[in-house]
Chains A and B, each alone.
Chain A
C-alpha cells in the first residue's frame, strides 16, 4: 500500500502522461502529418505506453512499497527523464505542422535525401522561426537515446526509417525555392559527420603544419577552430558538387544578405573565404576550354556568367586575410586556420574528399555536361513551361532537381522579363510581386518534378 504522498506523486505524473497522449492524438489526426512524423508519433506512443506500464508496476509491486523515499523518488525520476525527452521530441515533430514549409518542396527534397542517405532516410521540413538553416537527425539525436533508455522497461519501438532529418528553412526565405540549394550544405554536414572521426583526424593532421602556437591547450583550440572552418568549407564544396553553379548563386544571395563578407566566428569562416573556395572549384569544374594565355572560357549561362564576373574580384585570393576580419576568434587561431585554407595541397585534398563523398553518396555529382544540357531548359521557362520533363531523342525524360534549379537561377538572374511582359503593370512594375510569381512557378516545378518521380516509382517504370 503506497502512502498518500507517493500516490499523489504517481497521479500527478499520470496526468502529465495523459496530457501528452492527448497532444499526440491530435497530431496523429492532423491532415498535414507526413509518414515520417507518423512514425515518430507511433514511437512516442509506444514509449508512453512503456512509461505507463512502469507506473503501474510502481503502484502494484511490493518491492516499491518497501523502498525508502529517496529510492522511490529516484525510481520515478529515472522514468521522468525519458518523459522530458519524449516531450522535446513531440515538440520537434510538431514543428512541420505548426510552422509549415511550402509543401511543394517536400517530395523533391525527400527524393534527394533518399538519394544521399539511402531509402531508409526521410525528411521533415518546417519554416524555422530563426534566420538560419537548421538540421537535426531525429533518429540519431533523440530516438536512439530514448530507445536505449527505455529498453529496461520492455519498450517495443515500431520499425521505421533509419534517419529522419528535421530541416528548418529560415522563415524569411521559406518560400524562395532558389535559395534552398543551401540545404545541400546541411546535408553535407551530415555526410561529413558520418565519417566524423576519420575526417576530423585527417583535417586536424592537415592543420598541424601551420601551427604557430607552443602551449598544448592553445594548439588544441586552434585545431578546433581550423577543423570547424574546414568542415564548413567541406560542406560548401559538397553543396557545389550536388547543385553545381546554382549552389554558388544561392550562397551569394543568402550568405551575403545575412552576414558581412569578412565576419567570422569559431564555427564559421568568413563568407569571403567560403566564396573564394567555391569559385576556385566551380571555375575548374565548369571550364569549357583554355586558351594559350591561360584564359578560361566557362560553360556558364550568360546571366550566371555576369553574376560570377561581378563577384570574382571580391573573392579573389588577394582580398583574403585576417586583417579585415571581424570576429570573436583569437587571431592566432584564425591565423592557423587561414594558413591551412590557403595551402593549395589542403584545398586539393578537401575538394577530393568532397567529390568522393558526393559521388559515393549521391551516385554522381553535377558535372559540366549535365549543366550544359540543363541550360537548354531556360527556353522552356521563358515560355512559362515548368522544366519538369525534356525530350531526349523523341523520348520524354524527367529533369533533375539540380537541373531545375540551375535553369531557374539562370532565368531569374536575367530579370524575369518575359514573366513581366504577360502580367498586368501592377505586378510587372513591382519587382517583389514579379519575383513572388516566379517563385510560385519554381515551387510548382519542384512539386511536379517530385510527383512525376513518385508516379514513376509507384508504377515501376
Chain B
C-alpha cells in the first residue's frame, strides 16, 4: 500500500517504537508544500552537490578492466551555493543529490519519480528509482536534460517526488551490508560488483579464443569490494 502524504508525515513525526522501526526524513524544510494533504508522495529538494562527468580523462567507463573512481578521475565535484544555480544543458547528464537524508525502517520502501512540471521541460531526474528498506543517506538523482533548452537548477527547489509503500517480509531481517549505506553524497557505483569474477573469466577466455589484442589493460584480479544487494541500484 502506498502511503498518503499525511501518513508519511505522521510516520516521520511519530516517536519510533524501536530502532528498526525508525523512519526519518531530515530536514523537511516545509511540510505544507512538500507533503500536500491529499497527495500520495513527498516532494524532495535538490541539494548543492553535482558530479559532472569529465570526458577528457577517460576513453570509456570499463568497470571490468579497472573500476574508475568517479570522484577523482571520471567526474568533477561541483558545489553550488544556495542562491546560485547549475545549468543543465541539452543531453547533459550529471548526478545530483537530495537535500533530504532518509532512513527507511524495515517495513517501508520507496521509489523516486520525476515531477511533471520538470518533465515538461525535458528534465529526467532519476533512473534507478527504488529505495530499499533500511537504506540511510541522501538519494542520488541521475539528472538528464532531454529537452532542447538549457535548464537552470536551483539548490533547494522541489525536484522530484518520493512514493513510499509498505513492505511485507521477514520481521527478523537484518540490515544488508552495502557500500551505499550512510551516504552523505552519491558514492562511486560498481555495477559489476556481483558478477565481476565470472565476467572477467569470460573476457579472458574470449581474448584467448579469438587471439585479439586486448583493447585496454588486462583485467586485474577481482579485488573490488563485492557488496551484497545495494539498497539503491
Contact = CB atoms under 8 A, between A and B. Distances in A.
Interface of A: 31-32, 34, 103, 107, 379-380, 382-386, 388-389, 391, 394, 396, 398, 419, 421-427, 437, 440-441, 443-444, 447-448, 451-452, 454-455, 459
B135 to A, nearest CB: 9
Interface SS of B by simple majority: loop
Q: Size class of B's contact patch?
A: 35 or more
Interface SS of A by simple majority: helix
B30 interface: yes
B121 interface: no
B177 interface: yes
B137 interface: yes
A423 B19 contact: no
Contacts of B78: 31
A34 B81 contact: yes
Interface string B95-125: 0000101010000000000000000000000
B199 interface: no
A460 to B, nearest CB: 12
Interface stretch (B35-43, B141-149, B181-189, B201-209): B181-189
B227 interface: yes
A417 to B, nearest CB: 13
14 contacts: A32-B79, A103-B79, A383-B22, A383-B24, A383-B136, A384-B181, A394-B13, A396-B28, A422-B136, A422-B176, A440-B184, A448-B27, A451-B48, A454-B82
Nearest to A104: B184
Given A391-B13, A451-B99, A421 B27 contact: no
A107 B156 CA distance: 14
B138 A444 contact: yes
A383 B103 CA distance: 8
B182 A437 contact: yes
Given A31-B80, A34-B81, A424-B227, A443 B181 contact: no
Given A31-B84, A424-B179, 11 more contacts: A31-B80, A103-B79, A422-B136, A424-B177, A444-B138, A444-B184, A447-B48, A451-B27, A451-B48, A451-B99, A459-B30
Contact of B22 (A385, A419, A437): A385
Contact of A423 (B26, B181, B226): B181
B178 interface: yes
Contacts of A448: 26-27, 99, 101
B83 to A, nearest CB: 9
B29 interface: yes
Nearest to A419: B182
A243 B181 CA distance: 29
A452 B45 CA distance: 12
A423 B13 contact: no
A379 B16 CA distance: 11
B177 A423 contact: yes
Contacts of A425: 177
B98 to A, nearest CB: 11
B212 interface: no
Contacts of B24: 380, 383, 385
B15 interface: yes
B225 interface: yes
A30 B182 CA distance: 31
